[in-house]
Amino acid sequence: MNVTPTRLKEVLVLEPAVHGDERGFFLESWHQQRFAASGIGADFLQDNHSRSVQGTLRGLHYQLSRPQGKLVRVVAGEVFDVAVDLRKSSPSFGRWVGVVLSARNHRQLWIPPGFSHGFYVLSESADLLYKCTEYYSPEDDRALRWDDPELAIEWPLLKGRAPLLSARDTAAPGLRTAPVYL
């Protein structure tokens, strides 16, 4: 497995060894010992599967008092996946990183606790699988505005099409007024 730090050093791009032939391919998407040796000593409690149509933007989501680490991968389609550092005490507070994840490139993104997460669907549709280090807690769930000028995320939006957003994501606060981690 190849592990590449991003400009947010705790957020990692993971490229598993893919063994393929004319029948298809095989890869290890999770191997506790190998991931721990790469700096991801996470105990995952919940797996999620999300399907979205092209142009959907989900996020930027986080849980405030029960932060989730997420190991994200795409098993069908392609997305632009984003993590934002929401740890007020961090030197990279308010900075973001974006990575293209696809069924074709097999990349995974490790987003540690203390970061918000979102993605934009580039393909006709996309299926994401992600492992979480904490259970989903509806009362603790928060969202950060996807187009906050202070964050200045460079989303690769489809020309002439506004992203498909939930009402919650449309109304999410910007970084200045959103609750964040200490």
pLDDT digits over 47-102, tens only? Answer: 999 999 999 999 999 999 999 999 999 999 999 999 999 999 999 999 999 999 99
Interatomic CA distance for residues 143 and 123, integer angstroms? 24
Q: Tokens for 147, please give them.
A: 């187009």
Asked whether residue 175 is assigned to any structural domain, the reply reads: no
Asked whether residue 105 is assigned to any structural domain, the reply reads: yes
Which of 106, 117, 120, 130 is flagged as catalytic? 130
Between residues 120 and 37, the one the model is more confident about: 120
130 is known as an active-site residue: yes
Q: Tokens for 18, please give them.
A: 């893919």
pLDDT exceeds 90 at position 39: no
Q: With contact defined as beta carbons under 8 Å apart, do 78 and 85 qualify?
A: no
Interatomic CA distance for residues 35 and 80, integer angstroms? 23
Asked whether residue 91 is assigned to any structural domain, the reply reads: yes
**Those residues with Cβ within 8 angstroms of residue 127's Cβ, 6 or more apart along the chain or in another chain:** 49, 50, 51, 74, 75, 76, 77
Helix, strand or coil for residue 35?
A: helix
Asked whether residue 182 is assigned to any structural domain, the reply reads: no
Asked whether residue 161 is assigned to any structural domain, the reply reads: yes
Domain of residue 20 covers: 2-170
At 79 the pLDDT is 98
Domain containing 141 — which CATH number? 2.60.120.10
61 is known as an active-site residue: yes
Asked whether residue 162 is assigned to any structural domain, the reply reads: yes
Which of 61, 62, 120, 181 is flagged as catalytic? 61
Q: With contact defined as beta carbons under 8 Å apart, do 144 and 64 qualify?
A: no
Asked whether residue 178 is assigned to any structural domain, the reply reads: no
Q: Tokens for 67, please give them.
A: 């932060």
Q: Which amino acid is at 176?
A: R
Phi, psi of 148 (to 5 degrees): -60, 120
Asked whether residue 46 is assigned to any structural domain, the reply reads: yes
Q: With contact defined as beta carbons under 8 Å apart, do 132 and 45 qualify?
A: yes
pLDDT in tens, 89-146: 999 999 999 999 999 999 999 999 999 999 999 999 999 999 999 999 999 999 999 9
Q: With contact defined as beta carbons under 8 Å apart, do 48 and 74 qualify?
A: no
Say how many domains are in the chain.
1
